[in-house]
Chains A and B, each alone.
Chain A
Amino acid sequence: MRTFIALAANPDYPTLEDFGKDPIWISIIKAVGIFVLLMLGVLFGVWFERKLISRMQHRYGPNRAGKFGLLQSVADGLKMALKEDIFPRTVDKVLYFLSPVIIAVPAFLAFSIVPFGPMVTMFGERTPLQLTDLPVAVLLVLALASIGVYGIVLAGWASRSPYAVLGGLRSAAQVVSYEIAMALSFVAVFLVAGTLSTSEIVRAQSVGGTVSLFGMEFSTPSWFVIQLIPSFLIYVICMLGETNRVPFDLPEGEGELVGGFHTEYSSSLKFAMFMLAEYVNIFTVSALAITLFFGGWQAPWPISLWDGANTGYWPFLWFLLKMVIVFSFFVWVRASLPRIRYDQLMAFGWKVLIPLNLGWILLFATFRALRIDEGNRTLIMTMLAFVVLACFLIYMRFDIVAQRRKREQEAEVAAEFEELGNAPEAGGFPVPPLDLPHYHGVQRKEVSSGTH
């Protein structure tokens, strides 16, 4: 039945009951810890991204400020602080000032429910290595993401310049579209874990379940990424779209929108806030990917053979390692893929990701119902067959239309080709006459201009 009923009552794995018992000073220590971690993470992340992408492009990347250029982001931050703070004449002063704050605060808050490790002893207090947890933890992340969108829209609107307004609206539309697909990709995780709280989702990934197939018992792997691979793939795409990263970085498409919603935030610490929020958002989606699909802070396979791997402060290290790997994936994607067009972006989000996701959820739920509801197996099978048949029919319909369109197009091209072949000037294109002398072969040997 429920996966975590089968779980051994391991006291190292926190549950919801373990939260809300910290004295206030422990909470303050944890909050400061997360804050410092994120700030250092951004500094290190910017440097790491630039270094890694340069290596991928056969460059050295930043290597002047400090050893290996490690102080590059510090230098950049200082530069931003020392630049002139501009309030353009046209802007709406209050909102222009507030929107960097509105975008940065929710970004930080989302990290409050990320589990970094198991129960640890912190200055004599036994406490989970996680700021807090809620029965609706994952919903909290979505809620904070939707507040963050305000920052984007308001920054665009308050700037009162066409580029910024268009950029703001565009990125808001993009973020909300991909938020839907992202939220849908979590549903399968909740189906398996039976909870929305992040610590319990990690706990649910500690032991694999068993599947009996044809009378044999197979143990399923414990990390959700294996059994929920479609959800995970969709989530990966959505996390690129949600954080406005390449190949979905249209809000900042330099060629078309200049800087997007932060065009008017030309320099100074206000722009630094946007950059900070962008990187913190990347960390948030990476942390969510790890928590929901990669077993959270639990040690990966070869390390997990060691008994002490999942106790004490060690898991924090595994978590950070996983973060570095996911972040490197972001950089790798940035180095490899070109930006896609805005209409393609929206069409992909609405027409591909969402229906695929819904279909997968229903399919997965049906299989789950098959496992828990032994009595109604035939009924469920019939329903499944029905749904699959319906999907197939819909697909056939689309396929027939697509085939017809393709044939029509081919015929059109052929007709045009014929028309142009008969009369070269028919299409209006300036085509050189086909009897130009050099079309009939070279009559004299040409002399090259070089000396060789």
Chain B
Amino acid sequence: MELYVPILVLAVLAAGFAIFSVSIAPFTGPKRWNRAKLDAYECGIDPTPQPVGGGRFPLKYMITAMLFIVFDIEIIFLYPWAVAFDKLGLFGLVEMVLFIVTVLVAYAYVWRRKGLDWD
């Protein structure tokens, strides 16, 4: 508990500063209304009308996010393993090799199906 108090102090400081500067921004600057200025920036042409729901984008990003979760969990397992490795010894090594190889099966499959290619 005591270990987190300093983090809280810094958090209050940082959040206070960030919120303060973002909130005073409208008051420190001038205000000159201009229709074009309030448009979304699209290199000078009229902004693309926003479809209902924000439109659709390729699902490509979902594979990245999913793989991110997979490897994130692998890392979560790797960290305590690394910390306690000297105690676990050979047994720990063997089980981690098995684990990584199993996860790499999924990885190899995704690679093979060109899920890692970006175009």
Contacts and interface: CB of A to CB of B under 8 A. Distances in A.
Direct contact of A and B (CB under 8 A): yes
Interface of A: 1-2, 19-22, 24, 27-28, 30-32, 34-35, 81-90, 97, 100-101, 104-105, 107-109, 111-112, 131-134, 138-139, 157, 159-166, 169, 172-173, 176-177, 179-180, 183-184, 186-188, 190-191, 194-196, 258, 263-264, 266-270, 272-273, 342-343, 346-347, 350-351, 354-355, 358, 361-362, 365-366, 368-369, 372-373, 376, 379-380, 383, 387
Interface residues of B, number: 67
Given A2-B86, A104-B18, A85 B25 contact: yes
Contacts of A383: 93-94, 97
Nearest to B3: A20
Interface of B: 1-7, 9-11, 13-15, 17-19, 21-22, 24-26, 28-32, 37-43, 47-48, 50, 54, 57, 61, 64-65, 67-68, 71-72, 75, 78-79, 82-86, 89-90, 93-94, 96-97, 100, 104, 107, 111, 116-119
Nearest to A258: B41
A109 B11 contact: yes
B6 A132 contact: yes
A316 to B, nearest CB: 17
* Closest 4 pairs between A and B when the two form their complex, measured CB to CB: A161-B40, A20-B2, A108-B14, A190-B82
B18 A27 contact: no
Contacts of A190: 79, 82-83
A221 B54 CA distance: 56
Contacts of A196: 79, 83
B94 to A, nearest CB: 8
A177 B39 contact: no
B86 A1 contact: yes
Contact of A35 (B14, B22, B37, B71): B14
A34 to B, nearest CB: 6
Contact of B4 (A132, A159, A191): A132
Contacts of A347: 116-118
Nearest to B28: A81
Nearest to A136: B79
A1, A183, A387: most-surrounded residue (chain B CB, <10 A): A183
Nearest to B111: A351
Nearest to B10: A31
A190 B75 CA distance: 12
Given A112-B10, A369-B93, A373-B90, A101 B116 contact: no
A176 B64 contact: yes
B118 A342 contact: yes
A441 B25 CA distance: 71
A264 B42 CA distance: 10
B82 A84 contact: no
Nearest to B71: A180
B9 A194 contact: no
Contacts of B21: 81, 269, 272-273
A344 to B, nearest CB: 9
A351 B41 contact: no
A28 B82 contact: no
Contacts of A20: 1-3, 5
B13 to A, nearest CB: 5
A369 B95 CA distance: 13
A166 B48 CA distance: 14
Q: Pick from A108, A157, A383, A387 the residue with the most CB of B within 10 Å.
A: A108
Contacts of A105: 11, 14-15, 18
Contact of A87 (B7, B19, B38, B94): B38
A421 to B, nearest CB: 33
Given A161-B40, A176-B64, A84 B18 contact: no
A174 B47 CA distance: 27
11 contacts: A20-B2, A84-B31, A101-B22, A177-B68, A184-B71, A266-B41, A269-B21, A273-B21, A350-B67, A362-B97, A368-B86
A258 B43 contact: yes
Contact of B116 (A31, A111, A350): A350
B7 A100 contact: no
Nearest to A2: B86
Given A109-B14, A264-B41, A160 B50 contact: yes
Given A22-B6, A109-B10, A269-B25, 20 more contacts: A27-B6, A31-B9, A35-B10, A85-B25, A88-B41, A100-B18, A101-B19, A160-B54, A165-B54, A187-B75, A191-B82, A194-B85, A258-B41, A269-B28, A342-B118, A343-B117, A343-B119, A350-B116, A365-B96, A372-B86
A445 to B, nearest CB: 51
